[in-house]
Structure 1
């Protein structure tokens, strides 16, 4: 399969009449799958009402079938078509954070969306992306769109069209290249089906931001993915992993450097994931700065690109600094823990 590339400038007016967007939307209506940019990561978009389209998403990614997909919409009125009810808490959160990196879990109406998209659950995860190209594509297609990250399952999520092509060229119909994404980590997922909202996946909207709007917000104890049936994308399986084994290091820079030295004595090519403040202090084969520790949003934005760069450098093992779990740091550490398979070395 040839994978078509549509380059679209997100700053151009009248995106909904852009021939590239219209062509990509036609592919979606034909139940093909195309990658699209969002403000978080690139998503692999397909018609959420079509078993055929959703099956193509799972096949292209190599994604387990019991891992539900997020449904993307461009207008809140679309919820009436496939959501059974909209709780007041969900309405407040939508008012505050849509469009944006927040996914909300609702009880679904039966018989509308593909059961493959919701993994047979009684709930559905929905968000409205804050990206002009994605919104234009959604509006022109007129469809609710299922869109997990546009990468091979388990690998770092894509934040550029090039990342998508590295993983999925020849496996999908096309890629809408809208430039690099902004937030860099996926949306926060919040379950609003039962009373107090529960975070199922940390992401671009922090717990602190949520609580400022709706009061108490809980964090699901199964966030690490120990449940038998994931209610949210990203809860059950290892994700975001680079090719080389990744270890998180809890301790001083001197301790991390000792670990590097030990592996280099063994003849291994060693990588270190650090920040701009600390990168020059390490002596390793490859040291990559992943944003600024003083500005964790920059770490989030660079994380997946840095993990992919280690693949290009051909390292044998990677050691990573750890980050505070305040604010977006919660999402950063969630992704790093999954990428490392929860391998942590403590000083």
Structure 2
């Protein structure tokens, strides 16, 4: 299969490229497209055969539900049986934007593979001109996980999608690099107290300012669920080829770790700009220290860059678990499988 890369330039008429993408989707194909978080791999969410092509392309487990993307907030009522008041408040405050809201699904509307056998569905309205234009031109919902092979770092550039899915999917809409860089926050509002199933760009603090108390379970608590209610809850995600180990952002600790490893390993270090002078085989910057938005935007690109080296181990510095740092650490902990480097 030939994979088309259709560049969508904000300053020219892109109608022909959108028409090609929409035609493919209407024919039951999948199309990769940018959102403000990461690139998504979309199929019409009411077409079971099309949705199954997402799972095939990604190598994704079938019990991992998909998020439904819509072009207008009014569409929520088409796919949910009830919209709680707390959901309405969140939609008003954060849509379009990086917030997925889990509600009870209307039966027999969405493709069964979208909900993975659950009676709930996660829905969001992305805040990206290309994603919104595609959805509003298509006039149908798109089920869309990240556009990468399952388990690998999510794509923040069209080139990342091409690296993973060239020859597997028919089309990529190239809208440049994404902004936020980590997937949307997933909020379950079907419970008495809303629960964050996956942290993202909309933080616990931001949500509580609008709707009051919100629960945020740890990664260990999330694993208790045998069937995940949201993407990223059950399986190792976001991992490059070499094993990843978390390490404290302390220069002496990192230098000692590299000394211990260098006789047997090629070491890649992912760390803030202030650590760039450390002698290591490969260094990739997370941006300026304490700039969590910059770290979020560059995280997956840095993880993917490691795969273009012969590094046999990756050390990634930890950050604070506040604000968007919670989402960053969630992704790093999953990339590392929860492993921290310890000095002998």
TM-score by length of 2: 0.97
Q: Summarize the alignment of residues 56-95 of structure 1 with structure 2, pairs less than 5 Å apart.
A: 56-95=53-92
Distance 1:36 1:49 in 2: 18
Q: Are 1:297 and 2:293 matched, yes or no?
A: yes
Q: Which residue of 1 aligns with 2:233?
A: 235
Q: Are 1:254 and 2:252 matched, yes or no?
A: yes
Task: Kindly tell me the number of residue pairs found equivalent between the two proteins.
Answer: 342
Distance 2:187 2:267 in 1: 38
* Partner deviation per Cα, 1:33-75 (whole Å, 9 max, x = no partner): 0100000000000011011111100000000000000000011
**Alpha-carbon shift at residue 150 of structure 1 (Å):** 0.1
Q: Which residue of 2 aligns with 1:24?
A: 21
Of 94, 98, 102 in structure 2, the residue corresponding to residue 97 of structure 1 is 94
**Alpha-carbon shift at residue 279 of structure 1 (Å):** 2.2
Distance 1:143 1:277 in 2: 47
Of 29, 35, 39 in structure 1, the residue corresponding to residue 36 of structure 2 is 39
Secondary structure in 2 matching 1:200: strand
Q: Which residue of 2 aligns with 1:4?
A: 4
**Alpha-carbon shift at residue 212 of structure 1 (Å):** 1.1
Secondary structure in 2 matching 1:233: coil
Gaps of 5+ in 2: none
Secondary structure in 2 matching 1:43: strand
Q: Are 1:326 and 2:314 matched, yes or no?
A: no
Of 178, 181, 194 in structure 2, the residue corresponding to residue 181 of structure 1 is 178
**Alpha-carbon shift at residue 265 of structure 1 (Å):** 1.6
Q: Summarize the alignment of residues 190-339 of structure 1 with structure 2, pairs less than 5 Å apart.
A: 190-221=187-218, 224-250=222-248, 252-266=250-264, 268-280=265-277, 282-339=278-335
Distance 1:248 1:220 in 2: 20
**Alpha-carbon shift at residue 76 of structure 1 (Å):** 1.4
Kept in 2, the 8 Å contact 1:107–1:193? The answer is: yes
Secondary structure in 2 matching 1:125: strand
Kept in 2, the 8 Å contact 1:186–1:204? The answer is: yes
* Partner deviation per Cα, 1:105-157 (whole Å, 9 max, x = no partner): 01001000001011010000000000001001001111110000000000000
Kept in 1, the 8 Å contact 2:103–2:188? The answer is: yes
Kept in 2, the 8 Å contact 1:34–1:45? The answer is: yes
RMSD across aligned positions (CA): 1.3
Kept in 1, the 8 Å contact 2:203–2:324? The answer is: yes
**Alpha-carbon shift at residue 294 of structure 1 (Å):** 2.2
Kept in 1, the 8 Å contact 2:249–2:271? The answer is: no
Kept in 2, the 8 Å contact 1:224–1:236? The answer is: yes
Distance 1:4 1:223 in 2: 42
Kept in 2, the 8 Å contact 1:70–1:103? The answer is: yes
Secondary structure in 1 matching 2:150: coil
Q: Which residue of 1 aligns with 2:118?
A: 121
**Alpha-carbon shift at residue 203 of structure 1 (Å):** 0.4
Secondary structure in 1 matching 2:102: strand
**Alpha-carbon shift at residue 345 of structure 1 (Å):** 2.6
Distance 1:116 1:204 in 2: 26
**Alpha-carbon shift at residue 226 of structure 1 (Å):** 3.5
TM-score by length of 1: 0.96
